[in-house]
Chains A and B, each alone.
Chain A
Amino acid sequence: MTSATEPTEPLSVEQLSATTLLRFATAGSVDDGKSTLVGRLLHDSKSVLTDQLEAVERVSADRGQDTPDLALLTDGLRAEREQGITIDVAYRYFATARRRFILADTPGHVQYTRNMVTGASTADLAVVLVDARNGVIEQTRRHAAVAALLRVPHVVLAVNKMDLVGYRESVFAVIAEEFTAYASELGVPEITAIPISALAGDNVVEPSANMDWYGGPTVLEHLETVPVSHDLAHCHARLPVQYVIRPQTAEHPDYRGYAGQIAAGTFRVGESVTVLPSGRTSQVAGIDLLGTPVDIAWTPQSVTLLLTDDIDVSRGDLLVPSKDAPPTTQDVEATVCHVADQPLTVGHRVLLKHGTRTVKAIVKDIPSRLTLDDLSLHPHPGRLAANDIGRVKIRTAEPLPLDSYADSRRTGAFILIDPSDGTTLTAGMVGESFAAPQPVKDEGDEDGWDF
């Protein structure tokens, strides 16, 4: 524990500026050692500072604990410290010379599903922990299924507590193979399995001397090198209009720009664009990248688009290339995770927020509820309770330009809001649930997966 107080090698200003950002989420059951892994990553990357560590040591000592409880670094709320559990998603920040990290630290407690869905919604990578002694258990399959549902591009299986199984390769190989087969079946595109001991520090930051048979990266090495951007040339370009910028000043009497964060793909000056849902068309006359004119811009840049024609465009509209416009529809079919305590029922009148547009909607049908443990389907449950995942059919009051979540994690996603009190009810993903066409057989239906 003393290493945190030693001075680190300061990074040069150039090094500090050249880094990229990786957002990742962790998932693990209560005793899988997730807090220890998070603590180890923060600690061994020298991201825990002296005063934070001293506070942890002081509180641990006051409670009569022999060693500092690293979970105290992450349990920020009074109720969490009192109960010794993590209630809610917390975000942690650490950096190496190569990259900056935002870690969505999701609790492994009973309310796991909505918390993991929340953390995974913005994650480029998910770390799923298993206890090497227990192997792949129900909870592991659940975590893999959430990562697959949310289409997290990279999944790391961290087989923890290797020290308790004699660092045996055979133990790791069996678990890695079972998990990889399961997650691949669900359509997880990239899976990396790493044998670790979070407690002893094997393969977390430093390579393990106890597992010569493992030739892959440590957890931190993998986090530092995994690609964060994709080939955007083949993505559907999408710009949800947030705000119309009209200075109406002497200097800029005619400026009319459509501001927004590019949700997917790239936009170029000269390109023909269509405004949805109206269907009006124009051309990109210019792109302002926060004050700098550019010829091309891409996700997730916040930009302002100028068009050649003075057509009606306002907040809530979606700008898309004319050659690549999504269909608009008032009938949404989606997989959802219910995140509120009050249930979602058939006939529920809700608000649906998609991109920058919020419309009235009604829940027409809940055809099935999904049990994540074994991916079995419960037909027509009538309602979804907190943490439930299911299929829903929603009718919206106005047409929406919807992408499939498989094509765009931003323009294929929506939330449902309770119009009476503003509660965020449900997280929704348009289209097929999993990437694989038929991951499992429906227990009650010979025809199989009917999502």
Chain B
Amino acid sequence: MTTAATVSEAAGDSGNSGPYALSHLDALESEAVHIFREVAGEFERPVVLFSGGKDSIVMLHLALKAFAPAPVPFSLLHVDTGHNFPEVLEYRDRTVAAHGLRLHVASVQDYIDRGVLKERPDGTRNPLQTVPLTEKIQSERFDAVFGGGRRDEEKARAKERVFSLRDEFSQWDPRRQRPELWQLYNGRHAPGEHVRVFPLSNWTELDVWQYIARERIELPEIYFAHEREVFQRAGMWLTAGEWGGPKESETTEKRQVRYRTVGDMSCTGAVDSDATTLDAVIAEIAASRLTERGATRADDKMSEAAMEDRKREGYF
């Protein structure tokens, strides 16, 4: 896909939607921009969670468009697990510099070094992100925190509001959520509380990829097929590295893989792939019979309600 699907091109599609129809990507983009601008209009200190993963990259792209030609009126926050893919960190720093943004980093490694957090026996650091994240939100007094979470990712996330109130402990209570009516988002909160905001709530994995292709957004190269030293653990291909894999019983091999999600190296699996271009990635996702998280996230397999439980504690 080389040309952007413009509004006027999309207007004539389907034969049944009239001259003023928007393509679904235009409709999703417009809605997400509306959400960014609502937060800019109503909050004092918003911040965008930015991991260098595709969802947060799309969020930043939308924020840039929402406020152009002015700069994005938010800073970025990265929760650094200490087990990041080097390509992703490089992408993060390059992007921050290119747009003149300010980056806050909450470091899991710092908490481990200080003895506040303990390394888990399975070596997974994903669940350890919650404490550094929530403490950074409190210490920086962020009152709105943008996350790239999508409702299609996981069934607890399907219940998430676009504006999701968190108490002073950053907790999510799924039974006490505000109904969301029309596009009238309610961002009222008491001092110490904050609101998590999810502009990509209504996007699916495929929408994100189509949008990346349409807008020609650059991504870290690990999203495209490449040769990599990997080993198998719990049915997933993990990257060998200083984070602690492989164990003695596990053997590495060279495979042609790519990543569908970017997260902590210890729990984010690669998938076998020969998709080296955006078109090939989109074709692959459209034909895949596995969800993104099912294919590549070990931490969500820990229990039936793993995501809900982590979200209750303040996870994004």
The finding on whether chains A and B are genuine partners in a shared complex, rather than unrelated, reads yes
Residues on A lying within 8 angstroms of B by beta carbon are: 4-5, 7-8, 10-11, 13-14, 16-21, 49-52, 55, 59, 73-79, 81, 87-93, 95, 98-100, 102, 114-115, 117-118, 121-122, 225-232, 242-243, 245-249, 251-252, 255, 259-261, 266, 288-291, 294, 298-302, 315, 339, 351, 353-354, 356, 409-410, 413-415, 417, 421-424, 427
Contact check: which of A17, A77, A78, A300 meets B1 at CB < 8 Å?
Answer: A17
Q: List 6 A-B contacts (CB under 8 A).
A: A18-B5, A18-B14, A20-B17, A78-B304, A410-B182, A424-B186
Q: Report the bound CA distance from A354 to B183 in whole Å.
A: 10
Task: Contact check, A227 vs B17: say whether CB atoms are below 8 A apart.
Answer: yes
Contact check: which of A10, A73, A87, A242 meets B37 at CB < 8 Å?
Answer: A242
Find chain B residues with CB under 8 A from A299 CB: 20
Residues on B lying within 8 angstroms of A by beta carbon are: 1, 5, 7, 10, 13-14, 16-31, 33-34, 37-38, 40-41, 65-71, 151-152, 154-159, 165, 174-175, 177-184, 186, 188-190, 201-202, 204, 206-207, 210, 213-214, 279, 282-283, 286-291, 294-295, 304-305, 308-309
* Residue from the set B41, B67, B288 with the largest chain A CB neighbour count within 10 Å: B41
Find chain B residues with CB under 8 A from A228 CB: 17, 21
Q: Report the bound CA distance from A98 to B5 in whole Å.
A: 16
Pair count A-B, CB < 8 A:
249
What 5 A-B pairs are tightest by C-beta distance, nearest first?
Answer: A422-B188, A51-B294, A76-B155, A247-B70, A21-B24
Q: Report the bound CA distance from A115 to B286 in whole Å.
A: 32
Find chain A residues with CB under 8 A from B294 CB: 49-52
Contact check: which of B66, B69, B178, B287 meets A423 at CB < 8 Å?
Answer: B178
Task: Contact check, B41 vs A356: say whether CB atoms are below 8 A apart.
Answer: yes
Find chain B residues with CB under 8 A from A118 CB: 179-181
Q: Given A16-B286, A290-B29, does the pair A424, B178 have CB atoms closer than 8 Å?
A: yes
* Residue from the set A421, A422, A423 with the largest chain B CB neighbour count within 10 Å: A422
CB distance from B6 to the nearest CB of A (A): 8
Q: Given A50-B289, A90-B159, does the pair A122, B175 have CB atoms closer than 8 Å?
A: no
Task: Contact check, B183 vs A88: say whether CB atoms are below 8 A apart.
Answer: no
* Residue from the set A21, A98, A301, A410 with the largest chain B CB neighbour count within 10 Å: A21
B21 nearest in chain A by CB position:
A229
Q: Report the bound CA distance from A26 to B309 in whole Å.
A: 28
Task: Contact check, B24 vs A19: say whether CB atoms are below 8 A apart.
Answer: yes
B71 nearest in chain A by CB position:
A247
* Residue from the set A229, A289, A414 with the largest chain B CB neighbour count within 10 Å: A229
Q: Report the bound CA distance from A13 to B1 in whole Å.
A: 7
Find chain B residues with CB under 8 A from A14 CB: 1
Find chain A residues with CB under 8 A from B186 CB: 353, 415, 417, 422, 424
CB distance from A95 to the nearest CB of B (A): 7
Find chain A residues with CB under 8 A from B13 CB: 18-20
Q: Report the bound CA distance from A421 to B291 in whole Å.
A: 38
CB distance from B312 to the nearest CB of A (A): 9
Q: Report the bound CA distance from A413 to B181 in whole Å.
A: 9
Q: Report the bound CA distance from A118 to B183 in whole Å.
A: 11
Find chain A residues with CB under 8 A from B291 CB: 49, 51-52
Contact check: which of A7, A115, A356, A417 meets B38 at CB < 8 Å?
Answer: A356
Q: Given A78-B308, A91-B151, A415-B181, does the pair A20, B202 have CB atoms closer than 8 Å?
A: no
Task: Contact check, A259 vs B175: say whether CB atoms are below 8 A apart.
Answer: no
Q: Report the bound CA distance from A246 to B40 in whole Å.
A: 13
A242 nearest in chain B by CB position:
B37
CB distance from B98 to the nearest CB of A (A): 16
Task: Contact check, A301 vs B204: say whether CB atoms are below 8 A apart.
Answer: no
Contact check: which of A16, A226, A252, A413 meets B69 at CB < 8 Å?
Answer: A252
CB distance from B115 to the nearest CB of A (A): 32
Q: Given A13-B279, A17-B5, A49-B288, does the pair A302, B23 have CB atoms closer than 8 Å?
A: no
Task: Contact check, B179 vs A302: say whether CB atoms are below 8 A apart.
Answer: no
Besides A10-B286, A18-B14, A21-B27, 11 new A-B residue pairs in contact (Cβ under 8 A), listed by A number: A11-B286, A14-B1, A16-B286, A20-B21, A21-B22, A79-B174, A252-B69, A294-B7, A339-B181, A409-B182, A414-B184
Task: Contact check, A291 vs B65: say whether CB atoms are below 8 A apart.
Answer: yes
Q: Given A10-B286, A76-B156, A247-B69, does the pair A18, B10 have CB atoms closer than 8 Å?
A: yes
Contact check: which of B41, B174, B288, B290 meets A243 at CB < 8 Å?
Answer: B41
Q: Report the bound CA distance from A90 to B5 in whole Å.
A: 30
CB distance from B296 to the nearest CB of A (A): 11
Find chain A residues with CB under 8 A from B184 CB: 353-354, 413-415
CB distance from A11 to the nearest CB of B (A): 5
CB distance from B101 to the nearest CB of A (A): 15
Find chain B residues with CB under 8 A from A52 CB: 291, 294
Find chain A residues with CB under 8 A from B181 CB: 117-118, 121, 339, 413, 415, 424, 427
B26 nearest in chain A by CB position:
A301
Task: Contact check, B304 vs A339: say whether CB atoms are below 8 A apart.
Answer: no
Find chain B residues with CB under 8 A from A315 CB: 41
Find chain A residues with CB under 8 A from B37 CB: 242-243, 259-261, 302
Q: Report the bound CA distance from A227 to B14 in whole Å.
A: 10
Task: Contact check, B25 vs A301: say whether CB atoms are below 8 A apart.
Answer: no
Contact check: which of A10, A16, A260, A298 meets B210 at CB < 8 Å?
Answer: A16
* Residue from the set B5, B10, B69, B304 with the largest chain A CB neighbour count within 10 Å: B69
A54 nearest in chain B by CB position:
B294
Find chain B residues with CB under 8 A from A259 CB: 37, 66-67
Find chain A residues with CB under 8 A from B177 CB: 88
Q: Report the bound CA distance from A183 to B26 in whole Å.
A: 33
Q: Report the bound CA distance from A266 to B190 in whole Å.
A: 38
Contact check: which of B16, B34, B158 meets A302 at CB < 8 Å?
Answer: B34
A426 nearest in chain B by CB position:
B181
Q: Report the bound CA distance from A98 to B17 in whole Å.
A: 11
Q: Given A17-B210, A51-B294, A259-B37, does the pair A93, B204 have CB atoms closer than 8 Å?
A: yes
Q: Report the bound CA distance from A259 to B288 in whole Å.
A: 39
Q: Report the bound CA distance from A299 to B21 in whole Å.
A: 9
Q: Report the bound CA distance from A17 to B206 in whole Å.
A: 10
Task: Contact check, B287 vs A10: say whether CB atoms are below 8 A apart.
Answer: yes
CB distance from B8 to the nearest CB of A (A): 9
